[in-house]
Amino acid sequence: MFEDFREYSVAEFFKKNRHMLGFSGKVKSLTTIVHELVTNSLDACEEAGILPDIRVEIYSIADDKVKIVVSDNGPGIPKELIGKVYGKLLAGTKFHKYKQQRGQQGIGASGVTMYAKLTTGVPVHIISAYQGKMIIADVGIDINRNEPIVENIVETDTDIHGVIVEVVAGEVKVDKSEYSVYEYIRQTALANPHAQIELIVNGDRILYERQTTVTPPKPQETLPHILGIPPYEFLEMAKLSNNRTLRSFMIDSFDRVTSQKVKELEKLLPDIDFDKNPKELSWDEVDRILKVVKSIKWYPPRKDVLIPIGEANLQKSIEAIYKPEIIVTRTREPKIYRDGVPFVVEVGIAYGGSISSKVLRFANRVPLLFDSSACAITKAISEIEWNRYEIEDINTAPVLIVVHLASTFIPYVSAGKTAIAQEEDIISEIKLALMEAARSIKTHIHQKYRLYELSKKKEALLRYVDQLASDIASLSGEDRELIKNRLEEIIREKYSI
């Protein structure tokens, strides 16, 4: 039974389990392709401090085959990395960073290349203009070895910058459903009001203009918070450290560890020599340090590492796209989950107008269209007693709910990044944010009902004014019109809006 024992590459794993990357179903697969390429473009622009101009073109070629072209005005990609960015799973600039960014795995773009290969055999065609050089190349992936195949390289000089990616994929379908590219791009525009995004599907063009020309602050990279570091990680970091003392290692390696804090630890751990070389730490020592670490108070993570969309921007975005009667947006203070990962929740609730019941989920400004039932956001919404906020049934009321989670590490349920794991700290924070916004909306809904009832009463009373004025006039001999005007005045005063 062991003659079949084999090792296999991560690309083979995700080839067989491609649904884990979002490749299941024709509509979802197309949205996944666009999603991976657009998030890369937005991340690249953000990293380079460029206001993004992104164009997504989709051309139906045959039956269930399309060509997808995504162009951006980002910094481009250097020649030597083009192969690995688009042709090797588990490679990139994002995986090792503690930083708010859209991508965090180094899987997405090469997953697209793999899906194109599986379904059409056509490598992705890359045009990258980076620092004065334009590279044109075809990139494929050797699935069995998880290595890129780069062919037909052409190199010229250029004075522009950016990337154009052309993908020919099969087993995909263009439609306008709630899982479509249309919806994905609409929501991307909503969460990225500083980006201009153009979607062209078989000649049908939709332009989302930017709602603000202010580039959002660039999220800063941070250090891991000392809470939530497993002993192995601590020890590995210590081994690789250039610091000469445990003390300086801790201060330099972790967020919020100050010399003051280390002194506090030293007092609680008299047996441990904080002057020792961190390379010489033992498991037992690390165990004891981390136990004491958990027992003392730490500052919350740095706040400048999290860049929310912002209440005003979110408001503007929702207004531009959905035109509701009222919008309330709330951005909470940053919190941490799993003891050490910073995150911030912001929400918008919009009511009335042409709005129908809808939930928009976002993680680091990326729309989450799929697997809503597995998502922390769905869970949080389901746990709120909406009738306390004058919303009888959240599934049918004309209410748009927008939830955005920003974090240096989004705990996605799977490599497909479609849903946020149901971490309790995150769920509870989303609930607090929504309830806060719901209270304001409640006032509005309440007000609206009051107005409606008042106007109904007023109408009813005004119907009697004519008859009453005539009766009083004939009884008193006073002028009928005068009496009528006076009566109407009284009613209007009493039921004024």
Contact residues: its own copies, CB under 8 A: 1-2, 4-10, 12-13, 16-17, 19-20, 24, 47-48, 63, 75, 77-78, 81, 84, 88, 90-93, 95-97, 105-107, 117-121, 170-171, 230-233, 235, 283, 291, 371, 373-374, 378-379, 409, 411-415, 419, 421-423
Q: Which is closer to its own copies, CB of 24 or CB of 357?
A: 24
Amino acid at position 268, single letter: L
Q: Which is closer to its own copies, CB of 92 or CB of 308?
A: 92
Q: How far is the CB of 3 from its own copies (least distance, A)?
A: 8
Instruction: Please state whether 248 falls in left (phi above 0), alpha (psi between -120 and 50) or beta.
Output: alpha
Tokens of residue 232, six digits: 């192995």
Q: Which is closer to its own copies, CB of 212 or CB of 428?
A: 428
φ/ψ of residue 369, rounded to 5: -95, -20
Tokens of residue 332, six digits: 């909470």
Q: How far is the CB of 16 from its own copies (least distance, A)?
A: 7
Q: Which is closer to its own copies, CB of 180 or CB of 331?
A: 180
Q: How far is the CB of 7 from its own copies (least distance, A)?
A: 4
Q: Which is closer to its own copies, CB of 61 or CB of 490?
A: 61
Q: How far is the CB of 194 from its own copies (least distance, A)?
A: 19
Spatial distance between the Cα atoms of 188 and 191, rounded to a whole number of angstroms: 5
Tokens of residue 226, six digits: 């000392």
Q: State the pairing for strand pair 53-62/196-201.
A: parallel
Alpha helices in 241-356 (DSSP H): 246-253, 259-268, 283-295, 311-322
Q: How far is the CB of 237 from its own copies (least distance, A)?
A: 13
Q: Which is closer to its own copies, CB of 40 or CB of 313?
A: 40
Q: Which is closer to its own copies, CB of 117 or CB of 261?
A: 117
Q: How far is the CB of 20 from its own copies (least distance, A)?
A: 6
Maximum Cα–Cα distance for the chain, whole Å? Answer: 114
Q: How far is the CB of 322 from its own copies (least distance, A)?
A: 27
Q: How far is the CB of 42 from its own copies (least distance, A)?
A: 14
Q: How far is the CB of 14 from its own copies (least distance, A)?
A: 10
Least Cα distance to 465 among 479, 451, 486 occurs for 486
Q: Which is closer to its own copies, CB of 346 or CB of 371?
A: 371
Q: Which is closer to its own copies, CB of 7 or CB of 157?
A: 7
Q: CB under 8 Å, gap of 24 or more: what pairs does 380-387 form?
A: 380/426, 380/427, 380/428, 380/430, 380/431, 380/434, 381/430, 381/434, 383/427, 383/431, 384/431, 384/434, 384/435, 384/438, 386/438
Q: Which is closer to its own copies, CB of 127 or CB of 190?
A: 127
Spatial distance between the Cα atoms of 219 and 335, rounded to a whole number of angstroms: 16
Amino acid at position 495, single letter: Y
Is residue 57 classed as helix, strand or coil in its secondary structure?
A: strand
Q: How far is the CB of 471 from its own copies (least distance, A)?
A: 58
Q: What is the DSSP string of 377-430?
A: HHHHHHTS-GGGGT-S-TTTSSEEEEEEEEESS--BSSTT--SB---HHHHHHH
Tokens of residue 466, six digits: 């004519």
Q: Which is closer to its own copies, CB of 55 or CB of 88?
A: 88
List the beta bridge partners of residue 406. Answer: 344
- How many CB atoms lie under 10 A from the CB of residue 317? 25
**b (16+ CB within 10 A) / e for 324-351:** bebbbbbbbebbbbeebbbbbbbbbbbb
Q: How far is the CB of 338 from its own copies (least distance, A)?
A: 8
Least Cα distance to 330 among 344, 311, 349 occurs for 311
Q: State the pairing for strand pair 341-351/65-72.
A: unpaired
Spatial distance between the Cα atoms of 461 and 469, rounded to a whole number of angstroms: 12
